[in-house]
Structure 1
Amino acid sequence: MRQRILIFIIALVAFLPYGCEKVLEKTPDGQTTIDKVLNNYNRSKGLIDAAYSQIYQARDQVSFVHNTIDALTDNAFWAATYNAYEWHNGSLSLSNPVITWDWSTPSEQLWPDFWRGIRLANNAIKYLPQSTVITEQERRTWIAEARVLRAWYYMNLLEFYGPMPWITEPFEPTYMGWNELTRPTYDEIASQIETELLDVINSGILPDRQPAQEARKVDNGIAYAIRARVLLYNASPLNNPDNNQTKWQRAADAAQDVIDMPQYSLVPMSEYKRLFIGAHATPVTEIIWRATSDNSHINNANGVDVGSYPYASIAHLWNCGESPTQELVDAFEMTNGALPVTYNDDTHTNVTVTPGAAAAGYSEAPGGDPYANRDARFYINIVHNMMNYGVPYNCTEPYIIETFVGGRNGFNDVISRETQRSCTGYYSGKDKQIKYWGPGGSKGNEPTHWVFLRLAEFYLQKAEALCELGDLEGAMTALNVIRERALQPRLQDVPGFVNSQEFIRERIRNERRVEYCLEGQYRFNDQRRWKILNETNRFVTGMRITKANDGTFSYERKKIRDYQSYTDKYLVMPIPLEDAKKMTSMVQPAAWQ
């Protein structure tokens, strides 16, 4: 009896985000027999193309349409009663995964997509050896790519749902062993992923870095990077409660393997913005892998409303979306390396300016300026009051941001609906461009591509791992590579430096927050793997600014909303209820048992 696979595995899967099949099952009989696939070049190639199809292409299409993952953390606030609201309302449950697209079937978003990616990779690995119409080089290359892609999807599952059984075959329609599947330990699946990726790397089949015309494809650099990230998470407190030092050493070594690749280097601070904008085919030395699709619509769903431009008629945006929180703003140092404030109470609304910050000019007193002399990355990531946002397309005058009450981008106190004005007093700027907007709907922006992996991550991973190993000098050396790129002083030279593991650990964690804010899942994963949700996800604040008649500004820190997304149940998402019923031997995460 000839096996069959659905035609969407060959071509349509790239366009259909969901199917009606059970997520872990092999797709049932369809229109195209497997021999017709394996005897046709384009259909055979479609097996590897399908394996790429489940890679998310936009960072504001993961949590929900236009909701960003950062809005599920203390980095950003997203107004309106959609998924981010429900997430922070404590609605996550066995029957409500919250991260859903309710008009789709199934409505779950992440769980089925990651498993579908694994299944499609397994299809390629299983059937490509049988194709009669591809070259041996193509066969070996595509199978190697599929193995790396399978590891990518497993890494995504790990980040949200914890360790899952390693599946190497697409399930047959008659498969009945669902209740025999068991959850491995995190170390077991991390070790399996490492073994798999090292096998691909050592085979020499894939290049260390793809040429520009093949930049969408995986390579050894991506394989090394996936391995390093998985091993870091394996060593982290959530998955390493006994603080096994061997795990930290493996993480440090894996990070060094990425750093040692001569194909990658950090871009200078003057080119930092180029990490997030520019044509996909234009090589950037720091980028290891990024999405292929243009994500420029993020300007319209998570950016600044330029429609109030006083010099020309420009359309308003739909929603300002992710609005950076005051907590994120507070994470950006002064140019002398001092953190700006310390919190005096549990509301974060009563603060003391640190001596180092005061020396650098920081002040929230009336007439003061809390935004001068900050880390250079602050001015790329955070759009703030009186900032020169640049000149819209086909215009000549700059757009000046006014987040004060009554200003053109003034503070919005209503958090229950989408809004064109920020509820925190800040706007997201990292991957945004003023030239997305111009009179009459004109646009002159460059493409925006979501960056999945870039070299800076692995310097910070090495710093974290070495710190946990007690190698404080080595940790600071790695950390300072990123700090000095950002034009910040070495950690040893910051005001109040203490040569202790605790001090250095906290500054490494803060550096990760600053370097990777508003880029996707970093803060989401870091809060969980460090087990700090109970400290960080209880509420968020903003800065409400008023302007006096004499033009001076007054600053008031304001709590935006209390959160209920800090319990242990938010550390690892549960297996969706229907699949949990079928996989009776798969234990739920500890907090869900």
Structure 2
Amino acid sequence: MKNIRSKYLIIGCLLVLLGTSCKKDFLDTQMDTLPTPETIQTTRSSLTGFANAFYAPLNNFVGFNTLDGSFFEAATDDAQQTVTFAQGVIPFNQATLSEANPSTEVNKYYASYEGIRAANFFLDYSSNWRAMITKNRDTVTDVTNYNRDKLFIAAYRGEAHIARAFYYSELIKRYGGVPIVTKTLQQAGNDLTVARSSYDDVVNYIVSEIDRYKDSVVVNWKTNGFSDQDGRFSKGSALAIKARTLLYAASPLHNPSNDLSKWARAATAAREVMVTAGLGYALHTGGYGNYFQGNNALNSPETILAIRRLASNDLERANYPITTTGGASGVTPSHNLVAEYELKGAADPANIYANRDPRLAETVVLNGSTWNGRTIDQSPGAFDNVSKANTSRTGYYIKKFLAPNLDLVNNATAQHQWIAYRYAEVLLNYAEAMNEAYGPDALGPDVASVLSARQALNLVRARTGVAMPAVTAGGKDTFRMVVKHERRIELAFEDHRYWDLLRWNDAAAILNQPIQGVTVTKNANGSFNYAVSNVATRIFRSPAMYYLPFPRAEVVRSNGSIVQNPGY
């Protein structure tokens, strides 16, 4: 992936040259600017350049800077944005989403079609790739490089199909059915608009792309001798995209009749990630919080797909406490979330955070936490006193993903890799789908089933550094609530919560509740008291907000092929 990062500037120029900038109508399936594939110089290097182009839009899907330069969780019940001038979250929190005010999520709409267009163009452009890589080359004396190019370009063409599947999966979770565009060029005079497909049709298209091309991509770039290519779509990431897509399709929002065959199909897809030879995914053994630090995820068997980033301190500047020099407080976890972390041992009346699920201390900076070289004390008169301007309104700060003790005064930087898909999510996807299809303890009719729903979920709870007690009780309905809880805790701040609430049809009930925080006072003996209070109101407009509005400009440009989602 190093070579992909180094070519982003070149890719950007190529995309503009080819008319695929974000200002273009991405549903326009005719390339109406020059040069065309007939006039571009056909070289081996141009093949590689265009094979990298469909990766560039992935930068728009990095979840820790997706909304107001920080985490999307501020649009959920798990967090509150502290920065008063942050505008991107307001349409979600106050239900002002509209076709004229579609929020910054609209960037992902354009980025998705940019990626699809780049993938389509590469597939068209490279259709004669075998001749292109032999042109002006002695394939005998240059056999090593020639064989490498054959491997790379064949894999890249498969990756283009997987990229299309990824971008469509991101579109349908936001908008429902969308237009499916599979060609870059059409004959002059053809209709340039593409009709909107149904949600189920797009799901089937995603699955067909992955099933047809999953064996065309590399199983693992790390293990085949080309680790510099690691980070491209692989067989594992292709299967993970399919598994998540089918889980969403089986969920109540998209499966109102509760067709159990859809849940069974989702379970089978998740199981495929778990058992396919050569993938070898496993839970990280270095500790829960350690997994999200620096480059650790890149070398972990838990990672299925990571979107790689250059070193920076943007995440820390946005989310360090305001009382840490250079910090802005940013997105602060809610007490709604913190209260969900289970007790692992006996309750401590003197410390409400003691003996909790270890993932709490790895995810959230709590009052009394040691953070950035000091102990956080938010009581009146203390250094982190919440009466100071722009301190956390909830009494908490984000810890997960942030590098500790980063010297912002001297502009120190750290690595931050966004983990788009990881094995723990696959286990939880499998647990949810298996429970709905067969119950928490059955293996289902497929003898290849490797785990029950309960066994899969308990693997996540038993992971190194967490070791939470196994869940033993409960039938299907009770276990459903256990799965929802476990996803909230394990996947906190990984851009799952909002979309989970939507697909479960839980958003109207949950996102109309106030955000809670704690006010801290200190006793004479140095212990703390915590008073829970409401710190922000939320409004979720149902049923409209279960989907996002299409940008008004796209509705107008479509000449009727896109009908706006209801309620906007």
The verdict on a shared fold, with TM-score over 0.5 as the criterion, is yes
Look up the equivalent residue of 1:119 and give its one-letter code.
R
Asked if 1:540 is matched to 2:510, the reply is no
Distance in 2 separating the partners of 1:406 and 1:83: 33
Asked if 1:93 is matched to 2:84, the reply is no
Counterpart secondary structure, 2:184: coil
Q: How does 1:136-285 map to 2 (within 5 A)?
A: 136-172=150-186, 177=191, 181-184=195-198, 186-203=199-216, 205-208=217-220, 210-211=222-223, 212-261=227-276, 262-268=279-285, 270-279=286-295, 282-285=298-301
Distance in 1 separating the partners of 2:367 and 2:20: 40
Distance 1:37 1:139, change over 3 A: farther
The question of whether the paired residues in 2 share the 8 Å contact of 1:527 and 1:533 is answered with: yes
Distance in 1 separating the partners of 2:429 and 2:287: 22
Identity of aligned residues (%): 26
Q: How does 1:396-475 map to 2 (within 5 A)?
A: 398-411=373-386, 419=390, 421-437=391-407, 440-441=409-410, 443=412, 446-473=414-441, 474-475=452-453
Q: Over aligned residues, Cα RMSD in angstroms?
A: 2.6
Q: How does 1:517-536 map to 2 (within 5 A)?
A: 517-519=492-494, 521-536=495-510
Cα deviation for residue 306 of structure 1 reads 5.8
Distance in 1 separating the partners of 2:469 and 2:297: 34
> Per-residue CA shift, 1:364-396, capped at 9, x if unaligned?
xxxx3110001011110010001122xx5xxxx
- Match 2:88 to one of 79, 83, 107: 83
Counterpart secondary structure, 1:574: coil
In structure 1, runs of 5+ residues without a counterpart are 1-6, 101-107, 308-314, 337-359, 393-397
Cα deviation for residue 260 of structure 1 reads 1.6
Aligned to 1:133: 132
Look up the equivalent residue of 1:124 and give its one-letter code.
F
Aligned to 1:301: 318
Cα deviation for residue 48 of structure 1 reads 1.1
Look up the equivalent residue of 2:250 and give its one-letter code.
A
> Per-residue CA shift, 1:136-194, capped at 9, x if unaligned?
4443221111111111111111121112232210255956635550332x222212211
Asked if 1:316 is matched to 2:326, the reply is yes
Look up the equivalent residue of 2:209 and give its one-letter code.
E
Distance 1:376 1:24, change over 3 A: same
Distance 1:568 1:67, change over 3 A: farther
Range with greater deviation from structure 2 (472-481 or 368-377): 472-481
Aligned to 2:50: 47
Cα deviation for residue 12 of structure 1 reads 5.5
Cα deviation for residue 32 of structure 1 reads 3.7
> Per-residue CA shift, 1:284-304, capped at 9, x if unaligned?
110111111136421111233
Distance in 2 separating the partners of 1:255 and 1:412: 48
Counterpart secondary structure, 2:98: coil
Distance in 2 separating the partners of 1:466 and 1:281: 27
Distance 1:13 1:377, change over 3 A: farther
- Match 2:65 to one of 61, 65, 79: 61
Cα deviation for residue 590 of structure 1 reads 4.1
Cα deviation for residue 197 of structure 1 reads 0.6
Distance in 1 separating the partners of 2:242 and 2:206: 7
Distance in 2 separating the partners of 1:479 and 1:209: 29
Cα deviation for residue 469 of structure 1 reads 1.8
Distance 1:68 1:174, change over 3 A: farther
Range with greater deviation from structure 2 (153-162 or 123-132): 123-132
The question of whether the paired residues in 2 share the 8 Å contact of 1:67 and 1:83 is answered with: no
The question of whether the paired residues in 1 share the 8 Å contact of 2:281 and 2:301 is answered with: yes
Cα deviation for residue 90 of structure 1 reads 1.4
Counterpart secondary structure, 1:45: helix
Distance in 2 separating the partners of 1:13 and 1:50: 11
Distance in 2 separating the partners of 1:489 and 1:527: 26
Counterpart secondary structure, 2:57: coil
Distance in 2 separating the partners of 1:408 and 1:550: 18
Look up the equivalent residue of 1:460 and give its one-letter code.
L
Cα deviation for residue 77 of structure 1 reads 0.5
Cα deviation for residue 278 of structure 1 reads 2.7
Look up the equivalent residue of 2:468 and give its one-letter code.
Q
The question of whether the paired residues in 2 share the 8 Å contact of 1:381 and 1:428 is answered with: yes
Distance in 2 separating the partners of 1:30 and 1:192: 29
The question of whether the paired residues in 2 share the 8 Å contact of 1:21 and 1:27 is answered with: no
Distance in 1 separating the partners of 2:30 and 2:542: 37
Distance in 1 separating the partners of 2:309 and 2:189: 36
TM-score by length of 2: 0.85
The question of whether the paired residues in 2 share the 8 Å contact of 1:382 and 1:427 is answered with: yes
Counterpart secondary structure, 2:171: helix
Distance 1:99 1:442, change over 3 A: closer
Aligned to 1:379: 361
Look up the equivalent residue of 2:132 and give its one-letter code.
V
Cα deviation for residue 362 of structure 1 reads 4.5
Distance in 2 separating the partners of 1:177 and 1:27: 10
Range with greater deviation from structure 2 (45-54 or 399-408): 399-408
Counterpart secondary structure, 1:554: strand
Asked if 1:478 is matched to 2:481, the reply is no
Distance 1:126 1:442, change over 3 A: closer
Cα deviation for residue 216 of structure 1 reads 2.0
Counterpart secondary structure, 2:370: coil
Look up the equivalent residue of 1:316 and give its one-letter code.
G
- Match 1:586 to one of 552, 558, 562: 562
Distance in 2 separating the partners of 1:67 and 1:177: 40
Aligned to 1:370: 352
Distance 1:207 1:526, change over 3 A: same
The question of whether the paired residues in 1 share the 8 Å contact of 2:179 and 2:194 is answered with: no
Q: What is the total number of aligned residue pairs between the two structures?
A: 519
